[in-house]
Amino acid sequence: MTGYTYIWEFQVKPEQEASFLEHYGSEGIWVQLFKQAPGFIETLLLRDRDVPYRYVTVDRWQSAAAYQAFRTQFAEAYAALDRACESLTSAEREIGTFDG
């Protein structure tokens, strides 16, 4: 099976929602970083209909190897962006990684 997907859940601080959407949306800062690497397919940002300020991101790559190569090559930029975005959420967790 080809393809690699990982999903994260975020509880966004209400006062940070606009900034969160700018950073995590389909054309956001995270996607701009991902697009620099071969093998990136897309990021989907989904808003929970029932739980206010709850979002999930679905990041798709051609393979786990492509994602790992990205994480190695862009480790410093990834860590810096992750730190910069910490203040946007009150909680986050990895839901899981998936093939396909």
Give me the residue label for tokens 């620099």: 36
Residue 91 phi, psi (nearest 5): -160, 150
| Cα–Cα distance measured from residue 10 to residue 55, given in angstroms and rounded to the nearest whole number | 5
pLDDT in tens, the chain (100 residues): 579 999 999 999 999 999 999 999 989 999 999 999 999 999 999 999 999 999 999 999 999 999 999 999 999 999 999 999 999 999 999 999 999 7
Domain that holds residue 59: 4-99
pLDDT at 24: 97
Kindly report the CATH number assigned to the domain that includes residue 38: 3.30.70.100
Length of the chain: 100
| Cα–Cα distance measured from residue 100 to residue 94, given in angstroms and rounded to the nearest whole number | 18
| Cα–Cα distance measured from residue 42 to residue 54, given in angstroms and rounded to the nearest whole number | 20
pLDDT at 17: 98
pLDDT at 1: 56
Q: How many domains does the chain have?
A: 1
CB distance 7 to 46 below 8 Å: no
